[in-house]
A and B are shown apart, each in its own frame.
Chain A
């Protein structure tokens, strides 16, 4: 068996730059739900005190022998509210029990008239001035407390992941794509009506939100030394909208995000849930090696590879259902297939399709890591 000769950082950088690493870099998305379930800890408590969620994530990472990349922060209720997302947490809006985990509370919380306010003052001011109090029962003192808690969490996460564990893929910032942000806060049906019947309102909001995203990500990455921004999106794809909508409301803003962040050496990590088959060819228009395309198992990743080969790095897609009800052999076979077919130009990061679910069988997660770490090195 060949030896590893790269650090996680070198391995990740090679994959993103479409150069050949010593083996495929591994970066599953493991939030605090899986560690909570694995250790029998209270998910409700972690939402109240996310530092406990981070501790569980660190313990889990260490117990399973580690891997190359991480999104660094636990996803918890107050964090979402600070970003402007209504959220239901176990022990608060949901029952406290082993089968309950935090979830977005999608609804028509944002009203049609709010578009104008967002366009005038920006998303962040809109959230901190008024919206945060609409989607929570917080007082201004609670907001300050939540910000302090977030800051402390981010500092500890940086210390633990970057300084102590030297992980290779560190998201210096997380931002929900502006399109997805509006969809979640208007509700998908209302937002779709807005796109078709009030497009000028949506455009005006997207313009300022895109600009804000770029500026705040640059500032945050400069502050914490990160060079990747995690950007989830699961609403703009061809499984939902025709290309005329994608071309008007998603693609131009996304191109600006990539181009402007690229100039600052920041790599957008697009976490694209659902089926993007129709949209994948558009990504060829982006500069080479400028971002990561992270798919969840519903997009044909092998076809995506054919299209984006030697152009962009793909992050793969072992599905949540396979992790939870598949067998170690099924996981091993699929990981081998991914490595054989996607890693030919180096542009592949082995990952989970969306988050590794809380009911993932531990033997499946072990098989995922073991195959990822050894398969390539054991080949002649």
Chain B
């Protein structure tokens, strides 16, 4: 008997913990009260985080499988953030640098003040273990170039909702090339206004209007680098 993807996800949900299930079902009050209760009872915070992360991973699967929509992805991200705010005071130490999967600078460039897509991507990537350098909105191209020099990230992600951002984004990428910083860096561009034509025009590596596709792109590249690295490629 063949087990379809929907059924497989459903099975994983059934097998999940109470907390995980409630997070998947976006039961905000139940999730937050359970987290509070378990923390008070002295439970190991990392175990609670793990269950929340499992819930988030399954929400992501449901989104990829078109069972969930952007709304549910956003709600689960907010719920996870709220749970983490409760848990953080109980954590002995912050995540060590060595646990970071990759580094990404996210920015909305000069002239544009939209940040919704950027913020959603930041939440999802943080959850996957990326260190986020969020430069905010309406940012001067030179500041972005300087930040790339300073941080040496794996990725640079532009969020764009206005066509007037195309030339400043191109300017950043041209300057990164001149500074010899482009080669190892992968550049993403996303937002309702972007198309493959825009990707080619500015000289980015990847374009999407779907935050989850952006996450997948980063994860796959990091995974590929690890494999190449293990073979002695990097």
Interface residues of A (CB under 8 A from B): 88, 94, 99-101, 103, 105-106, 188-189, 192-193, 195-197, 238-242, 245, 273-275, 296, 298, 319-326, 357-360
Interface set, chain B 106-124, CB cutoff 8 A to A: 110-114, 116
B78 touches A193 (CB 8 A): yes
Residues of chain B contacted by A275 (CB below 8 angstroms): 209
Residues of chain A contacted by B198 (CB below 8 angstroms): 321, 325
Known contacts: A188-B116, A326-B197. The answer to whether A359 contacts B164 by CB under 8 A is: yes
B75 touches A322 (CB 8 A): no
Interface set, chain B 67-101, CB cutoff 8 A to A: 68-72, 74-75, 78
B71 touches A241 (CB 8 A): yes
Q: Does B193 contact A (CB under 8 A)?
A: yes
Known contacts: A88-B113, A94-B113. The answer to whether A357 contacts B164 by CB under 8 A is: yes
**In the complex the two chains form, what is the Cα distance from A238 to B197 in whole Å?**
24
Distance in Å: Cβ of B139 to nearest Cβ of chain A: 12
Residues of chain A contacted by B112 (CB below 8 angstroms): 103
**In the complex the two chains form, what is the Cα distance from A360 to B70 in whole Å?**
31
Distance in Å: Cβ of A357 to nearest Cβ of chain B: 4
A323 touches B71 (CB 8 A): no
Known contacts: A196-B26, A197-B28, A321-B163. The answer to whether A103 contacts B114 by CB under 8 A is: yes
A323 touches B192 (CB 8 A): no
Given contacts A188-B74, A320-B193, 15 further A-B contacts (CB under 8 A): A94-B113, A99-B111, A189-B78, A193-B75, A197-B28, A240-B69, A241-B71, A242-B72, A245-B71, A274-B192, A320-B163, A321-B163, A321-B193, A326-B197, A359-B167
**In the complex the two chains form, what is the Cα distance from A242 to B72 in whole Å?**
9
Residues of chain B contacted by A103 (CB below 8 angstroms): 112-114, 162
A105 touches B164 (CB 8 A): no
Distance in Å: Cβ of B210 to nearest Cβ of chain A: 9
**In the complex the two chains form, what is the Cα distance from A196 to B27 in whole Å?**
10
Size bin of chain B's contact surface: 20 to 34
Distance in Å: Cβ of B212 to nearest Cβ of chain A: 12
**In the complex the two chains form, what is the Cα distance from A190 to B28 in whole Å?**
13
Interface residues of B (CB under 8 A from A): 26, 28, 68-72, 74-75, 78, 110-114, 116, 138, 162-164, 166-168, 192-195, 197-198, 201, 209
Distance in Å: Cβ of A36 to nearest Cβ of chain B: 12
Residues of chain B contacted by A238 (CB below 8 angstroms): 69
**In the complex the two chains form, what is the Cα distance from A103 to B71 in whole Å?**
23
**In the complex the two chains form, what is the Cα distance from A273 to B163 in whole Å?**
15
Residues of chain B contacted by A359 (CB below 8 angstroms): 163-164, 166-167
**In the complex the two chains form, what is the Cα distance from A359 to B112 in whole Å?**
14
Could you show 24 A-B contacts with beta carbons less than 8 Å apart? A103-B114, A105-B113, A188-B74, A192-B71, A193-B28, A193-B78, A196-B71, A196-B75, A238-B69, A241-B71, A242-B71, A242-B72, A274-B192, A296-B192, A320-B163, A320-B193, A321-B166, A321-B197, A321-B198, A322-B197, A324-B166, A357-B163, A359-B163, A359-B167
Residues of chain A contacted by B71 (CB below 8 angstroms): 192, 195-196, 240-242, 245
Partner of A94, one of B70, B138, B209: B138
With both beta carbons as reference points, the residue of chain B lying nearest to A320 in the complex is identified as: B163
With both beta carbons as reference points, the residue of chain A lying nearest to B77 in the complex is identified as: A189
**In the complex the two chains form, what is the Cα distance from A332 to B209 in whole Å?**
25
**In the complex the two chains form, what is the Cα distance from A94 to B168 in whole Å?**
17
Residues of chain A contacted by B70 (CB below 8 angstroms): 239-241
Distance in Å: Cβ of B164 to nearest Cβ of chain A: 5
Distance in Å: Cβ of A154 to nearest Cβ of chain B: 27
Shortest 5 CB-CB contacts between residues of A and residues of B: A357-B163, A324-B163, A99-B111, A240-B70, A325-B201
Residues of chain A contacted by B111 (CB below 8 angstroms): 99-101
Residues of chain B contacted by A326 (CB below 8 angstroms): 197
**In the complex the two chains form, what is the Cα distance from A188 to B119 in whole Å?**
12
A325 touches B197 (CB 8 A): yes
**In the complex the two chains form, what is the Cα distance from A360 to B26 in whole Å?**
43
| Highest count of chain A CB atoms <10 Å: which of B110, B111, B113, B198 | B111
A298 touches B192 (CB 8 A): yes
Distance in Å: Cβ of A33 to nearest Cβ of chain B: 9
**In the complex the two chains form, what is the Cα distance from A254 to B71 in whole Å?**
21
**In the complex the two chains form, what is the Cα distance from A322 to B194 in whole Å?**
10
Residues of chain B contacted by A325 (CB below 8 angstroms): 163, 166, 197-198, 201
Distance in Å: Cβ of A320 to nearest Cβ of chain B: 5
**In the complex the two chains form, what is the Cα distance from A298 to B192 in whole Å?**
8
A101 touches B197 (CB 8 A): no
Residues of chain A contacted by B168 (CB below 8 angstroms): 99
**In the complex the two chains form, what is the Cα distance from A53 to B86 in whole Å?**
51
Residues of chain A contacted by B138 (CB below 8 angstroms): 94
| Highest count of chain B CB atoms <10 Å: which of A88, A94, A103, A275 | A103
Residues of chain A contacted by B26 (CB below 8 angstroms): 196
A242 touches B69 (CB 8 A): yes
**In the complex the two chains form, what is the Cα distance from A357 to B163 in whole Å?**
7
A99 touches B114 (CB 8 A): no
A358 touches B164 (CB 8 A): yes
Residues of chain A contacted by B197 (CB below 8 angstroms): 321-322, 325-326
B164 touches A192 (CB 8 A): no
